[in-house]
Amino acid sequence: METWAGSCPGLHLSLGIWVMIAAHTLQNAKAEITCASCPSPVQLHQEELQLGIRTDPTEETANLRNIRVEFRELGVMDQDAGMDGDRETGVSIEYAPQIHQDFRLDEVRTLGSSQESHGGSYKPEMDQDAALRRAKRSGAEFAEFSESGWADRAGVDAGAARDRGSMLDGHRSGRSELRWNREEGRGNNRQDEPKLTSSTFALTGDSAHNHAVVYWSGQNSSVILILTKLYDFHIGSVTESTLWRSTDYGSTYERMNDKVGSKTVLSYLYVCPSNKRKIMVLTDPEFESSVLISTDEGASFQKYRLSFYVLSLLFHPTEEDWALAYSHDQKLYSSVDFGRKWLLIHEHVTPNRFYWSVAGLDKEPDLIHMEAHTPDGNVQYVTCRVQMCTEANRNYPFPGYIDISSLVVQDDYIFIQVPTSGRASYYVSYKRDSFIQIKLPKYSLPKDLHIVSTDEKQVFAAVQEWNQNDTYNLYLSDTRGIYFTLAMENVKTTRGIGGNQMLDLYEVAGIKGMLIANKRQDNQVKTYITYNKGRDWRLLQAPAADLDGNDIHCILPFCSLHLQLQTSENPYVSGTISTKSSAPGIIVATGNIGPELSYNNVGMFISSDAGNSWTPIFEEEHNIWFLDKGGALVAVKQPSVPTRHLWVSFDEGRQWTQHSFSSVPLFVDGVLVEAGAENQIMTFFGHFSHRSEWQLIKIDYKSIFSRKCTEEDYQTWHLHNQGEPCVMGQKQIYMKRRPGNYCMLGKDYSRILSAESCICRAHDFECDYGYERRNDGNCRLAFWFNPSTVSRSCSQGQNYLNSTGYRKVVLNNCTKGVKELYTARKQQCPNRPPKGLALTTKDGKLTATLGTNVTFLVHLDEGDSMRTNIQLDFGDGTAVSYSNLSWTEEGIKHNYRSAGIFRVTALAENTLGYDTTTLFLHVTCPVEHVQLLAPFVVIRNKEVNITAVVSPSQSRSVTYFWWLGNSTEPVITLDGSISYTFNSEGMHTITVQVSAANTILQDTKTIAVKEFFKSLLLSFSPNLDEFNPDIPEWRQDVGRVIKKALLQVSDFPEEQLLVAVFPGVPTAAELFLLPNKNQSEGKKKSEEELEQASGIIVGALNQNLVDFELKPGVRVIVYNTQLTLAPLVDSTPRHSSSAMLMLLSVVFLGLAVFLIYKFKRKIPWINIYAEVNQEKEQEMIGSVGQGDSTPKITLSEFTTSKELMEKELDARVKRGVGNAYESTREIPNCTSV
């Protein structure tokens, strides 16, 4: 995972030092995946960044030496065609230690893929500040340095440095003297500084070379290889190279140019990860394209010509002779004899989107996963075997096209994104099963999504939701990676190397379930820690005293310790926070104490008890590494200033002893620690000045240990969380060396002595999908989730797990206790009629090319899939039938032989009922949005106006296709409006499609036709607008919640109550009261029932008795916008027996109008209109079903709800509305939207 726990297993990292004048410019990738199992920061964005440094015009560019550091993981082959093509003066860091592979799921840049997941490779750049710091300390101001001091103007800076050092040297009283004691070994009882055995080797003759790469294979090997190069910026290529080899851990080096060819220019050197004795060296393609192969750790080489230029290499994780090579022309090659012969696998492969098989998951070890482009520009997920990758032998695990740069093969999971015109759709395959759509909370609506981690039997995902800009929400999945629940909101991001956005989230190594995150809350960023994978979070307790022993008054929650969580992408320079799996419980980090996170006045802090307590160790930032398998700590000042000392602690940071590693201060660019398992050797890489040779200092630190550790040197340590011994459901006891014992471990010593399962309690369970945690700590049903939905795979006679609202935290080992109470209960599958039938095409389009196969996909939300018959009518005179839904999983293919518009109908039927759905397939127009504006309730036999709004507006002709009622043939118009009269009561469906050029869009509405009805306009408290994403699904779900709240204050039948929520903000809605379908009791009685029910509801609304909870802590009040009840809407004409009665009616009506006008009475808003000019689209709830949803359109050209109400009131006055309670006047039309 591109995150923060552990290290890449089995991979020994190597260091390379680059000194270059121009910064390497990365290719701009819109989506990336990075190493998921290495301790590196979560990168959310990969942007192109060029770093520049201004220099004095009088200084010669050639005399500047700017440091660039490259780190390469052995066996990770990454080459960029332009990686040496630095274009601007500057500096940066390049590395490939964790196979940072940038991965995109659409705007989703997902992080993941390590060598363990057999991904590609990655090279980011240093951020600008870091580049400037490196340039400053290696530029002209440090022109000369020798043992006697600085020369020229540099002497001033050196003197200042010595003066600053003298202030720390005891020449100042009080605080400064204590500081010296701390930094030079405060509290150290050993008076004599132990001497380290060291040797220095300079790469003589290579001072002009501005690029150096160092490789140490490790695993008890004494061989170190160094490749130095001279990059000529004028011609843009490498002109010289030297290969150095050491066989004594770096004490001496041998120049190898004669063995590889004195005139051969080398570009890159790679070591096989499964056999470190095997090495590949690539030549620079400007001179020749060849590969040099060694099987004896570089003692001898054989040269083989290549017919292509290698951009990147990827070795097989276990087969030492197998490798993949990616060429400059996007071709993928394979070799099974360690690079001697190459075979073309596939053309048009996406960069860094090819993976070796995963052991235990893929059946064939030579299987390759890759993302390839089709001739028409689409992208597919392809698998094949290395030596059998012809078209006939290729497989396509996902049935359809995917987004470019979205394929990720990582641990047990494969992620892709499906191209859509609207919201992003993400799919996951768990253990090579079929792809299933990822389920996030319904209204998370991600703008950006990243897979953070997959290495603990679940998926961590960072999601930037529709209302977030610089923060992300952290989600955790179930084991299959399908259902995600919220773990933390508003996690901070930090701009990292190369402009990448880094998520401030760190996974502590060695302790599962322990995370540290920086959260933005109330415009402040604070650091939180969790011990159960985000189930519970708390602030960090600040140290009780500072370095001088003074008390620190820091009281939670107003003051706490805050940490910087940027782990180093360079494995040889520690990040702002470090942990090690072999030293569980020890956390070293840069941070500050106060009310919020700050980057000023920072210091170094350490915790030896897994974050329960913290101690300050340095007032300045240091690089800190773990020595002796985590038994000791070594600290070196940041590389911005030269140093010749290091500090070592044997008591988990309580005391530090100073040791000299060089007689001359060295600019340290990197440190190799414990490359060999059985030796105690460190190697420092750096330079004395910008003109000096490369300096390689080998340090044997065995002398700082007094003896080897014995059983008496160990003690037990109990992992706990503020005294709570149960962490992740078990009590864990570790064996650790006693602090302060100067004995050498020599092997991994920190181990779990015992792990006893705990009794399950509430904090061992998190909220299940569809549930949210309330303020009382309990998980309650989210308003958008319907728990009665049962998987369609649940068949009669089978059982399913009915969620209690909770699910056990993944990898939690608790037993008994409340486990049975919180665990999902097994229940028999209910026998249900089909519901939620959906019909789509495989590519999600409503168009098809004549003569090509169209694949239809049928989906059923509810119902017994094994006992439900599926019928599909293609609309061209042919139809098919299937006995159950399982036969349609691969899709239903059909070939249309004639052009036109076809009504494709799907029918799902079992013994309890049926469900149908319709899709209209044809060649359509390139419109972006269409929205059908139609009333939800209309009067029978009265003409209604229906309008289709197209966005963007078309200057050319647009064809409109209307399906009214249950007609099979459409009405075709060139106008966006049509009038229609419904002759019968009931539910009627209207479908419109607009066609222009090659695009077609559809919208469907369902209209209730009644003889009469009543309606009320509703408004809400302003807090509802803050959570309104203005999409149809949200309006429908909120309408359902409103309806439920109204039913609490009225016994009105649910099926006669409809709620329609308008689009836009402020949020408004309309309530419809419909008469009973059975009017045998008389129309007058039905009218009285509506009047009585409306009076009760209005009374409750006026008393603020109708409210609902949208989410924890957010309660919304429903108001009645009208001052009086709306009159009854009636379509029945009044038959008079005499002219006198008619005259009296007219007189009374005129009198009522006069009185209303005279006293300026407010007239209730009657949802009946004579003309269609309303802007609000209503979402119907209840018996009136919502049709297919379409993208929302901009309605700014329509009047607002307030203006509409005012116009309606005026219109009613003019029409002479009489009694507000009893009017049954015939109105030709109602709520037109």
Write the pLDDT tens digit of every residue in 735-770: 888 887 888 876 656 677 888 999 999 999 999 999
CA distance 565 to 684: 25
> Which range (582-596, 707-721, 760-774, 1143-1157) has the least confidence?
1143-1157
> Which range (96-105, 541-550, 646-655, 880-889) has the least confidence?
96-105
Query: Quick check: 1196 pLDDT over 90?
Result: no
Question: Which one has a higher pLDDT value, 915 or 10?
Answer: 915
% the chain with pLDDT above 90:
30
Mean pLDDT of 1191-1196: 34
Question: Which one has a higher pLDDT value, 173 or 418?
Answer: 418
Are the CB atoms for 428 and 413 separated by under 8 Å?
yes
% the chain with pLDDT above 70:
71
pLDDT of residue 167: 28
**pLDDT of 1209-1232, one tens digit each?**
454 444 433 333 333 333 333 332
Coil/strand/helix, residue 948? strand
pLDDT of residue 53: 28
pLDDT of residue 747: 65
CA distance 4 to 110: 15
pLDDT of residue 488: 95
> Which range (131-140, 517-526, 695-704, 1051-1060) has the least confidence?
131-140
Question: Which one has a higher pLDDT value, 307 or 1198?
Answer: 307
Band (352; pLDDT cuts 50, 70, 90): very high
pLDDT of residue 204: 82
pLDDT of residue 498: 62
> Which range (291-300, 575-584, 715-724) has the least confidence?
575-584
pLDDT of residue 748: 59
pLDDT of residue 250: 83
CA distance 701 to 208: 32
For strands 577-578 and 587-594, give the pairing.
Answer: antiparallel
Give the mean pLDDT of the chain: 74
Query: Quick check: 558 pLDDT over 90?
Result: yes
pLDDT of residue 212: 77
Are the CB atoms for 354 and 371 separated by under 8 Å?
yes
Question: Which one has a higher pLDDT value, 43 or 897?
Answer: 897
Q: 761: Cβ–Cβ under 8 A, 6 or more apart, which residues?
A: 726, 814, 817, 818
CA distance 206 to 125: 25
Q: How does DSSP classify residue 953?
A: P
pLDDT of residue 161: 32
Query: Quick check: 414 pLDDT over 90?
Result: yes
pLDDT of residue 997: 67
CA distance 840 to 846: 8
pLDDT of residue 138: 30
Peptide bond into 419 cis (omega under 30): no
> Which range (305-309, 686-690, 1111-1115) has the least confidence?
686-690
pLDDT of residue 411: 92
Band (587; pLDDT cuts 50, 70, 90): very high
Question: Which one has a higher pLDDT value, 1134 or 227?
Answer: 227
CA distance 1099 to 1115: 20
In sequence order, what DSSP letters do the residues of 1206-1222 get, joined into one string? HHHHHHHHHHT---TTT
Query: Quick check: 261 pLDDT over 60?
Result: yes
Question: Which one has a higher pLDDT value, 367 or 456?
Answer: 367
Query: Quick check: 858 pLDDT over 70?
Result: yes
Question: Which one has a higher pLDDT value, 1096 or 5?
Answer: 1096
Distances in whole angstroms, Cα of residue 5 to Cα of each of 10, 505, 506, 580: 15, 10, 7, 8
> Which range (89-98, 202-211, 793-802, 1057-1066) has the least confidence?
89-98
Question: Which one has a higher pLDDT value, 976 or 530?
Answer: 530
Environment class of 154 (CB within 10 Å of its CB; exposed 0-12, middle 13-18, buried 19+): middle
Are the CB atoms for 1075 and 1058 separated by under 8 Å?
no
> Which range (426-430, 565-569, 1111-1115, 1195-1199) has the least confidence?
1195-1199
Band (1130; pLDDT cuts 50, 70, 90): low
User: Can you name the residues that pair with 735 across neighbouring β-strands?
Assistant: 716, 751
CA distance 505 to 502: 9
Q: Put residue 581 in one of left, alpha, beta given phi > 0 → left and psi -120 to 50 → alpha.
A: alpha
pLDDT of residue 3: 35
Query: Quick check: 1061 pLDDT over 80?
Result: yes
pLDDT of residue 44: 54
pLDDT of residue 1024: 92
Alpha carbon dihedral 687, 692, 694, 696, in 10-degree steps, equals -60
User: Can you name the residues that pair with 303 across neighbouring β-strands?
Assistant: 292
Band (455; pLDDT cuts 50, 70, 90): confident
**pLDDT of 1076-1099, one tens digit each?**
876 656 777 788 888 888 888 898
Mean pLDDT of 304-328: 93
Considering only CA atoms, which of 1200, 1224, 786 is closest in space to residue 1019?
1200
pLDDT of residue 758: 95
**pLDDT of 950-960, one tens digit each?**
877 754 567 89
> Which range (123-137, 547-561, 698-712, 1117-1131) has the least confidence?
123-137
pLDDT of residue 336: 95
pLDDT of residue 750: 60
Q: 131: Cβ–Cβ under 8 A, 6 or more apart, which residues?
A: 23, 51, 53, 66, 90, 91, 92
Q: 1203: Cβ–Cβ under 8 A, 6 or more apart, which residues?
A: none
Question: Which one has a higher pLDDT value, 476 or 177?
Answer: 476
pLDDT of residue 292: 93
Which residue bears the tokens 């607002």?
A: 1200
pLDDT of residue 1008: 87
pLDDT of residue 1083: 75
**pLDDT of 75-131, one tens digit each?**
333 333 333 333 332 222 233 333 333 333 333 333 333 333 333 333 333 333 332
CA distance 1045 to 1109: 10
